Amino acid sequence: MSDLFRDHILEHYRRPRCHGTLEAPDARVEDANPLCGDRLVMDFRFEDGRIAAVRFTGTGCSISQAAASLVCEAIEGRSIDEVKGMTRQDMLDLLGVDDLGPVRSKCAMLALKTVKAAAWGVARWDDEEEESA
Amino acid sequence: MSHVSRHPAGASGSPDAPVVAPGPTGFDAREVRSRFPLLTQPREKPLVYLDSAATSQKPQAVLDAMDRYYRTCNANIHRGVYGIAEEATALFEDARRRFARFVNASPREIVFTRNSTEALNLVARAWGGWALRAGDAILLTPMEHHSNLVPWQMLAAERGLELRFIPITGSGELDLDALPGLFADGRVKAVSFVHVSNVLGTVNPATELARIAHEHGATVILDASQSAAHMALDVKALGADFVACTAHKMLGPTGIGMLWGRREILEAMPPFLGGGEMIRTVSLTSSTWNELPWKFEAGTLAIAEAVGLGAAVTFLEGLGMEHVFAHDRALARYAMERLAEVPGVRVLGPPADRRGGVVAFTVEGVHPHDVAMVLDRDGVCVRAGHHCAQPLHDQLGIPASARASFHCYSVPEDVDALVTGLAEVRRLFA
């Protein structure tokens, strides 16, 4: 089990990047983790097939909020297609952890689910739920 | 960590460990602990298990009983006439008798289910679906576990029933002064409530509430999931009509729950699930029902688990439920005292003398999930979340809480480890 309370996760939790909302966003996606009450709201601006801007607000544990900060920072400027193809492993790499148990995984993957829902233009994206092998 | 030396791996606590708080209350918790294999398993970090309200650990006696059943007489019950089938049937029914005696009931009135949730669904579906009419009201409390809320919501939506709630006070106790108003229009036909809150620890005045409900002609359903595991339960003295329990919180295995129902109601109401065992005669187009309690036990039940439950009951009787309750409450009091020392920690619920062995708390500025995850690094297991009581947390104005809960094998050093771990939580998140 990797140590989730490493400096960069706590740093992103304390000083999240891309935090806030966008005025008149092209998409607003909200998702929540019913188990522990993690909640994320993300605003997106799309330009020429790219994520021109993304901002998030939310409440929840440090993993869920740090993951949102990390993934938003990573996707700003990237193409929508790239975001569509992001995987669970990409999220783990951003967090800098080898793997997560099924419960903590839900906290960590909430942000990825939210950005993928926006990229695919759907209200909800559930495919990152499956546990690791 | 300071507790490491007090909890040598593989032992039940060193005999010369300083007793820092409530001494034994009728039994020696260290000795009790030594009878739980999971708690004495050698491991890298000593395990500090503080989540008994979610599920209890299991003593060797329970594991042995189940193992013995599978090794020596595994067969389906109530069917075969051969030796081991008779033996299995006898063991199964003996478990029912032991549990019946444990709660002062007749074995006829004890229905085995999968868990408390299924027991409560049985009551909502089979009794509620039969006895309640559109316009009737069901009185609940905001501190219900989802298992005693959602089945009633489902029934209410289907049948046009109204759900009402007894308000709770600032200390997390039921406001009984509101009862006259809630019963005033005579529409409340069922009152279903939790005996001991799995979040607040509140011990609700079950006998008094049952008496008042009966004065208004309502049927009383008690969710005893937390209480049956921790205090002496006398279904006759409680005065309820149905009582739901689950084995896995009372040192028994998962997969088996118990519903006690008043005999005349169980006789009158229709069955819950249809299938084998619950019938007397079957033709192609109709059936008649078996006698109690088998009328409510369709299909092959969890036989080994029932046997395990029987062993758990015997184990608890050996300790004495009044001692278990005193032990849990003393630990809750000690935990509340120690947690008061930690800056930023707020304990939910009533004072220790009005609660069971459950202490939920929040740490200012730290999400409960983070609290639990930091504690986990030191082997301290607490629950974090809404504990299947989301509406209660909404009422308290918090998204979630962390919870420490105790059983007969818990020791003051477990609380000390929690408090030490919380200092680390504050260091990381301050």
Min Cα separation B110/chain A (Å): 33
Residue B308 confidence (pLDDT): 98
* B5 conformational bin, left if phi > 0, alpha if psi -120 to 50, beta if neither: alpha
Contact A60 B369 (CB under 8 A): yes
Query: Cβ contacts of residue B23 below 8 Å, gap of 6+?
Result: none
Closest to A31 in 3D by CA, of A88, A107, A101 = A107
Closest to B76 in 3D by CA, of B299, B392, B344 = B299
CB nearest to A5's CB, from B369, B374, B386: B374
Q: What is the dihedral of CA A64, A66, A67, A72, to 10 degrees?
A: 130
Residue A130 confidence (pLDDT): 44
Q: How far apart are CA B176 and CA B170, in angstroms?
A: 13
* Residue showing tokens 């002496």: B232
Q: For chain B, first and last CA: distance in Å?
A: 20
Residue A126's pLDDT band (cuts 50, 70, 90):
confident
**What is the value of pTM for the model shown?**
0.89
Residue B15 confidence (pLDDT): 38
Contact B384 A37 (CB under 8 A): no
Residue B263 confidence (pLDDT): 97
Residue B200 confidence (pLDDT): 94
Closest to B12 in 3D by CA, of B45, B51, B44, B46 = B46
Q: What is the 8-class DSSP label of residue B179?
A: H
Among chain A, residues having any CB pair with chain B shorter than 8 Å are 3-5, 10, 35-38, 59-63, 104, 107
Q: How far apart are CA B404 and CA B332, in angstroms?
A: 9
Contact of B285 with B369, CB cutoff 8 Å: no
Closest to B109 in 3D by CA, of B257, B256, B259 = B259
Residue A22's pLDDT band (cuts 50, 70, 90):
very high
Residue B23 confidence (pLDDT): 52
pLDDT in tens, B315-371: 999 999 999 999 999 999 999 999 999 999 999 999 999 999 999 999 999 999 999
Contact of B269 with B130, CB cutoff 8 Å: yes
ipTM, interface predicted TM-score of the complex: 0.83
Min Cα separation B396/chain A (Å): 14
Q: Which strands make up the sheet holding B137-140, listed edge to edge?
A: B110-113, B257-261, B242-246, B219-223, B188-194, B137-140, B162-165
Those residues of chain B that have pLDDT short of 70 are 1-25
CB nearest to B384's CB, from A5, A36, A63: A36
* Residue showing tokens 């000593």: B46
Closest to A37 in 3D by CA, of B146, B311, B68, B390 = B390
Contact of B50 with B405, CB cutoff 8 Å: yes
Contact of A109 with A92, CB cutoff 8 Å: no
Contact A61 B367 (CB under 8 A): yes
